[in-house]
Amino acid sequence: MLSAKDITKRYGAVQALSGASLDLREGEVVALVGDNGAGKSTLVKTIAGVVNPDSGTITVDGEPVRISTPHDAQALGVSTVYQDLALCENLDVVANLFLGTERRRFSVLGHIAMEKATRELLHQLDVRIRDIRVPVAMLSGGQRQSVAIARALIGEPRVVILDEPTAALGVEQTAQVLALIRRLRERGLAVLVISHNLADVRAVSDRVVVLRLGRNEGEFETATATQEEIVAAITGARQ
């Protein structure tokens, strides 16, 4: 569905990416892992249109595309949920989901239509929030993460990128988010998860791509790879 090939990016004297590549397929969860400074964030930002690579190609459905801005990425069906979630905590769930894409009728906000769409989407994702009209600040961490992911689906993307989706979450909240990621896969989306938590990675991903020092260090089928093999690739200890 989406492929990034031989992506390079330099920041002054720092070579952040040195020919990194990544393939995302329909109905598949890919985990992107690596130590701090491995280039994960830079690679993701090139796909999301936040960073322009120095060289390399990105293709969607086999056709070369240019992603210069986040708007370009969204137009191609790529939606990203960053670690800070970027939610407006003083607004309720409905307002957060449609922030910037409000539905209107004759220049009047369609509150009823947006609330109905919110309830339908949360039901499809099996996200349980008792009152969608309470400020997001009153929700749990797992519920906030679910709201951010649901908001990413409003534009009906084909690729969803999740940056550290389970960071700072408790056990129960983490389980809720991992279940939601599986439901994204069931909807036929290509899902990219960036995570340091190998237990979460092994629980939800189909493939694991390892970056090290801006380069691909390995790619593993989650069902057959051992945690030791993945850790060895992350640390550069593979023979």
**Upper half-sphere CA count for residue 226 (Cβ side, 13 Å):** 4
Q: Determine the residue type at 229.
A: E
Q: Where are the domains of the chain?
A: 2-87+140-235
pLDDT of residue 239: 54
pLDDT of residue 194: 94
Residue 209's CB: how many other CB atoms inside 10 A?
24
Instruction: Give the mean pLDDT of 138-149.
Output: 89
Q: Determine the residue type at 115.
A: E
How far is 41 from 119, CA to CA, in rounded Å? 32
pLDDT tens track for 210-234: 999 999 999 999 999 999 999 999 9
Residue 239's alpha-carbon distances to 198, 211, 212, 236, in angstroms, are 21, 16, 15, 9
- Give 74 or 106, the one with higher predicted confidence: 74
Instruction: Give the mean pLDDT of 110-118.
Output: 89
Mean pLDDT, the chain, whole residue set:
91
- Neighbouring residues of 106: CB distance < 8 A, sequence distance ≥ 6: none
pLDDT of residue 26: 95
Q: Roughly how many angstroms between the first and final C-alpha of the chain, as a whole number?
A: 32
How far is 67 from 16, CA to CA, in rounded Å? 18
Percent of the chain beyond pLDDT 90? 67
Instruction: Give the mean pLDDT of 27-44.
Output: 93
- The whole-model pTM stands at 0.88
Instruction: Give the mean pLDDT of 22-32.
Output: 96
133: left (phi over 0), alpha (psi -120 to 50) or beta: alpha
Instruction: Give the mean pLDDT of 181-203.
Output: 93
* CATH 3.40.50.300 corresponds to the domain 2-87+140-235: yes
How far is 239 from 184, CA to CA, in rounded Å? 36
Residue 162 pairs in a beta bridge with 81, 193
Give the position of tokens 């830079």. Answer: 42
